[in-house]
Structure 1
Amino acid sequence: MIKLRKSREQGHANLGWLDSYHSFSFSSYYDPAYMGYSVLRVINEDVIEPGRGFGMHSHRDMEIITYMLQGDLRHEDSLGNGSTIHAGDVQRMTAGSGISHSEFNASQTAQAHLLQIWLMPEQDGLSPGYEEKHFPLAAKHNRWCLIPSREGRDNCLKINQFVDLYASVLDQDVTLDMTLDSGRSYYLQVAQGRLQANGQDLQQGDAIRMDGETRLDIRALTQAEVLLFDLPPHHIPATQPI
């Protein structure tokens, strides 16, 4: 079964300094039909204006992944970490028993464009942690690149959940496929560009979720960047809006 989620149907908040689209219920956007998918709880596409950002705030019991598309983001946290991540970088933060952090556009002239992804961890109360890694274009170019996994295999980031997240940057007219496990759930998110996936026409911000499928076939209609989540079987999380 394949279900299409168009970007124009998502939640949207424009605060002037932040333009954000919400794939699932978040903040003031609430839709009981979109509380999450499997252990995937949040995908926010954020554009942050120069020099602006989120002051110090706290999280707990969530695996938080920041996928940079454009620009520079300055991160500081209560564990003592401080760094600036750039396009091609991916950051993983285990909120666990509690962590505070801030995120600011490190540039005074250019926007920062990113996807922030929240996954429910395999258990609550984990020790907070932080990790970041650069994934060069060559590793993602017209191929799948594993970004995080539970085991941290193939030199990717390590997350505390049974999830594999892949990324690819495709040239126009390139095709890419993957054999799927019909007992798992999959979520495909278009980060940039336009493509066809299993017969669905998708553009930036669009997504499809797949249950019981055995194959994914993609053709890029323009240069495109795409994320694919390999998830535990879908259930509807009993959570409230974040």
Structure 2
Amino acid sequence: MLKKLPKEKMGTSNLGWLESRFHFSFAEYRNPNNMNFGVLRVLNDDIIHANSGFDTHPHSNMEIISYIVNGEITHKDSMGNSETLKRGEVQYLSAGDGIYHSEHNLHKSDDLRLLQIWIIPPKAGLPRLYGSKRFEEIDRKNKLLNIVSGQEGNADIKIYQDINIFVSQLDSNKNLAFQINENKQVYFVQIEGKSNINGIDLNNGDAIEIIDEKQLNIKALENSHFLFVEMAKV
């Protein structure tokens, strides 16, 4: 089953310093019929304007991945971590029993765009984790790059939940295929450009839920940048 989710039907918010598109119920977008897709609880496509950001705030019992699309994010947290990440780089944390952190765009003029992905952990109170990975464009150019996996997976970034997150930048008219593991489902996000997924066209910002399919057949209809999450079927 393939269910296309056009960006025009997603929740949105504009706070002046922050513009957001909400794939699931979050903040100003309240939709009890769209709370999650499997263990994927939040996927926000955020634009943070220059010299602004999220001041220090708490999280607990959630696994959070930030994928930087454009610009720079500066992270600080109560575990003593502080760093700045750029396009294609990934920050992650498993908040466990509690962590405080801040996220800012300290650039004087350029916007920051990122995907904020929240994954429900397998249980509460797990030890806190934090890390990042500075991927290069060549790592995802015309191929799938596994940026996050579960503890038994193959990605450099490992969280507690049994998922896989892949990204790619695919040149126009290039094709990729992905075999979906048994009893898994996929949430696919078109970040930039345009792709065809198993016969369905996705434009920049669109998403698609994929259930009971054995394979993803991905064709870039123009230069295409995308991310997808593979997780247990529910």
TM-score, reference length from structure 1: 0.94
Q: SS at 1:228's partner residue?
A: strand
Tell me the distance in 2 between the aligned counterparts of 1:214 and 1:116: 27
- Assess if the C-alpha contact under 8 Å between 1:22 and 1:44 holds in 2: yes
Secondary structure in 2 matching 1:65: strand
Query: Which residue of structure 2 aligns with residue 238 of structure 1?
Result: none
- Residue matched to 1:175: 175
Q: Output the CA distance in 2 between the equivalents of 1:131 and 1:102.
A: 15
1:101 and 1:152 map into 2 onto residues whose CA distance is 27
Q: Which residue does 1:149 correspond to in 2?
A: 149
2:36 aligned with 1:42 = no
Do 1:196 and 1:219's aligned partners in 2 also have CA atoms closer than 8 Å? Answer: yes
Q: Match of 1:122, SS?
A: coil
Specify the alignment match of 1:222 in structure 2. Answer: 222
| Cα shift readout 1:126-169 (whole Å, capped 9, x = no counterpart) | 12221000111111111111001112744520111000111111
Give 5+ residue unaligned stretches, structure 2.
Answer: none
Structure 2 equivalent of residue 54 of structure 1: 54
After superposition, residues 112-123 of structure 1 pair within 5 angstroms as: 112-123=112-123
| Alpha carbons 2:149, 2:155 under 8 Å: kept | no
Matched with 2:26 is: 26
Q: How far apart are residue 199 of structure 1 and its match?
A: 0.9
| d(CA) in 2 for partners of 1:159, 1:98 | 16
Indicate the structure whose relative CO is greater, using CA pairs within 8 Å and at least 6 residues apart: 1
SS at match of 2:114: strand
1:107 equivalent in structure 2 = 107
Compute the displacement of 1:34 (Å). Answer: 1.1
Query: Structure 1: any 5+ residue segments left out of the alignment?
Result: 235-242
Q: CA deviation at 1:33?
A: 2.1
1:173/1:220 contact within 8 Å kept? yes
Q: Match of 1:184?
A: 184
Code of the residue aligned with 1:105 in structure 2: it is: N
Following superposition, the deviation at residue 182 of structure 1 comes to: 4.4
Does the residue aligned with 2:151 lie in a helix, a strand or coil? coil
Q: How many residues of Structure 1 are paired with residues of Structure 2 in the alignment?
A: 234
Distance in 1 (alpha carbons) for counterparts of 2:173 and 2:156: 28
Kindly provide the amino acid, as one letter, of the partner of residue 22 in structure 1.
F
Confirm whether residue 140 of structure 1 aligns to residue 143 of structure 2: no
Q: What TM-score, normalized by structure 2, do the two folds share? A: 0.97
In structure 2, the partner of 1:72 is 72
Determine the structure 1 residue equivalent to 2:126: 126
SS in 2 for 1:147: strand
Please state whether the residue corresponding to 1:117 is helix, strand or coil. strand
- Alpha-carbon deviations, 1:28-79, whole Å to 9, x = none? 2111221000000001001111010010000100000000011111100011
RMSD: 1.1
- Following the alignment from structure 1 to structure 2, what is the Cα–Cα distance between the partners of residues 154 and 107? 34
Give the Cα–Cα distance (whole angstroms) in 2 for the partners of residues 32 and 181 of structure 1. 29
**Alpha-carbon displacement from aligned partner over 1:108-143 (angstroms, at most 9, x marks no partner):** 111001000000001111122210001111111111
Q: Which digits, 9 at most, give the CA deviation of each residue in 1:173-213, with x for residues without a partner? A: 11111112342111111111111101111011111111111
When residues 152 and 79 of structure 1 are mapped into structure 2, their CA distance, relative to the original with a 3 A threshold, is: farther
Q: Partner of 2:89 in structure 1?
A: 89
For the Cα contact (< 8 Å) 1:24–1:43, is it kept in 2?
yes
Paired letter, 1:62: M
SS at match of 2:21: strand
